[in-house]
Structure 1
Amino acid sequence: MRRKWFPVLYVFGFERIGVAVSDIYFVDPEPIPGQEGAERGVRLEIRRLEPGELKGSIYSARPITVDRPLWRVDLLESVSSEPGSFDRTHHHPAIEGWEPGARVFDTELSSEPLKWLGARLTDLEAVLAEVGVSRDEVSPADVAGLRERAPEIVDAVGRLLDRIRAGELGTPPDAESATSVRASWL
């Protein structure tokens, strides 16, 4: 009996931006050539964060909006490949509103994804310049906070990848043979 799908979502918040990380199982109904078939892995996005106004007393919970993405990395592999192949691993250096640009494959990203990710997270300014996001979108506290917490974020990504390899995460929901599936928080 297949267990029910339970996604995992981590959110690391700073002043104006956050990093959201989730496992993903994905079947594209219109894949680009060579990218056919189901994919699994970890998706990481740098996103805008918006704190809301308190809805009650000073002790009430604060609403938080995890808003539009600024950058995305997909540490994916085809389900038919060996776990850890990273044969579909890519990033999206362009995002228009909520839509990612084309997949960009990078040999260093596929061969050493956690090392590549750690280097990128510690240099938020370079990532923003690459994706064409104004430096005004982030604060110095965002840059410093992300640099400081990058090892913790990479560790969380590594734990998710371990659970995907173990078959605990990045698994299809009930309809395993569907032609279009996106099972993830992100």
Structure 2
Amino acid sequence: MQQAFVYDQVAVLVRHWFEIDLDDSHLEHGARLEVRWLVPQERRGTESAAQKIVVDEPLWRADLFDRLDGPPGNFAAAHFHPYFKGVEPSERDYLREDPWEWLRGQLADVGAASGVPLDAGDVAGVRADAEEIVAAARRRAATECTSMERCHAWTRDAREAVRLMLDQLARPDLLDRERTALW
């Protein structure tokens, strides 16, 4: 399940995500937040017709992840991707501060955080909704994913991505196969 906050130029997507480190097969999960461009669509139908909304190219992503081999709430894998090349994220930039406070700061000026000029109305809208967006991310934090079944239910749409990760592991012998079996 994803939650979307949609503005004029951008949308902020919030969800739970599950990831496998390709080098040592450790498992990570937690809240993922992406800021993405909206693709302008041609108006269709009458003045009352429903309009198409297309959320596409990412601007930046925050992954407020725990490592599953640590205590809940450890944020040992919390990082962000400050930019994208098309749809591919930049290298991880690890967070060294409280992830929730960091996220509030990023949302306070999403234009500066994304490194691209955004409509002043969108910047103000995201700033006004920052507490609600952070609350949505907290509801998808690793600490709220209290069982393998719940984590899988929240990320079942990621099956293809998880399978791609499984195919690329440098150390598949280290993989927690019980934890990944549901995908």
TM-score (norm 1): 0.75
Letter in 2 for 1:125: G
Indicate yes or no: 2:107 matched with 1:121.
Answer: yes
The residue type equivalent to 1:117 in the other structure is L
What CA RMSD, in Å, does the superposition of the two structures yield over aligned residues?
2.7
Counterpart of 2:132, as a letter, is E
| Equivalent of residue 79 in structure 1, options 68, 72, 88 | 68
Conserved in 2, the CA contact under 8 Å of 1:40 and 1:77?
yes
Closer, same or farther in 2 for the Cα pair 1:179/1:19, shift >3 Å?
closer
Distance 2:2 2:45 in 1: 27
Structure 2 CA distance for aligned equivalents of residues 78 and 97 of structure 1: 28
Work out whether 1:180 is the aligned partner of 2:169.
no
Instruction: State the shift of 1:103 in Å.
Output: 0.5
**Structure 1 spans left out of the alignment, 5+ residues:** 1-7
Q: Work out the number of aligned pairs and report it.
A: 161
Runs of 4+ in 1 over 6 A off after TM superposition: none
* Mapped partners of 1:127, 1:145: distance in 2: 15
Identity of aligned residues (%): 34
**1:56 equivalenced with 2:45 (yes/no):** yes
- What residue identity is the alignment partner of 1:123? D
The within-5 A match list for 1:62-141 is 62-108=51-97, 112-129=98-115, 133=116, 135=117, 138-141=118-121
- Deviation readout 1:18-49 (Å, 9 max, x if unpaired): 10111111224x33xxx632211111111101
C-alpha contact 2:19 2:29 (8 A) present in aligned 1: yes
In structure 2, the residue corresponding to 1:154 is in which secondary structure? helix
SS in 2 for 1:107: coil
Question: Which consecutive residues of structure 2, in runs of 5 or more, have no partner in the other structure?
Answer: 167-179
Measured in 1, the distance between the counterparts of 2:130 and 2:120 equals: 15
Q: Which amino acid aligns with 1:148?
A: A
- Give the distance between the partners of 1:179 and 1:61, measured in 2 at CA: 36
The separation in 1 between residues aligned to 2:11 and 2:164, in whole angstroms, is: 32
| Corresponding position of 2:4 | 11
Calculate the TM-score normalised by the size of structure 2: 0.76
Counterpart-to-counterpart distance in 2, 1:51 and 1:155: 28
> Are residues 1:148 and 2:128 paired?
yes
